[in-house]
Amino acid sequence: MRDYQGVDGYFGSYAVVAVLLAIGAAIFAGALLINRLLRPDRPTEAKLTTYECGVDPVGDGWAQSQVRYYVFTYLYVVFAVDAVFLFPWATVFAAPGYGMTTLVEMFVFLAFIALGIVYAWRKRVLTWT
């Protein structure tokens, strides 16, 4: 039996995902291609305007929106990194040789992360007006 951590086995599982990706891309590309061949195509001026809400569009397409969304993206990056550190920690945590030190280390790390969310909270990023 091959060891799954060998190069073949380990990257083999990703190769299978790549195969599925190829199948998926092929199926959707095929569907869109068939759709292109079968569907009628009679564009008019009115059909090609942006729909928006049914009324004739006014001005340029894009609307300005709150910068707040970017703050959420930053917060997401912080917490996603946090989660990525937490996952391997959670798996080795109960193994012999870890234990108390690992636990305290992670608590300190989580305290720093929690400080981030408390800061955002105090700065009223999480409040809507």
Residues 87-126 that bind another protein (CB under 8 A): 87, 90-95, 99-100, 103-104, 106-107, 110, 113-114, 117, 120-121, 126
Element (H, E) at 100: helix 100-122
Q: Name the residue with tokens 């550190």.
A: 85
Query: For residues 51-90, which are near another protein according to CB under 8 A?
Result: 51-53, 57, 60-63, 65, 69, 72-73, 75-76, 79-80, 83-84, 86-87, 90
Query: For residues 15-34, which are near another protein according to CB under 8 A?
Result: 16-17, 19-21, 23-25, 27-29, 31-32, 34
CA–centroid distance for 110 within its chain: 22
d(CA 8, CA 15): 9
Provide, rounded to whole angstroms, the least separation between the CB of residue 74 and another protein: 11
Q: Binding mask 31-50 vs another protein (x if CB under 8 A, - otherwise)?
A: xx-xxx-xxxxxx---xxxx
Provide, rounded to whole angstroms, the least separation between the CB of residue 81 and another protein: 11
Q: 50 and 62 in contact (C-beta within 8 Å)?
A: no
Provide, rounded to whole angstroms, the least separation between the CB of residue 85 and another protein: 10
Q: 92 and 98 in contact (C-beta within 8 Å)?
A: yes
**3-class secondary structure, 55:** coil
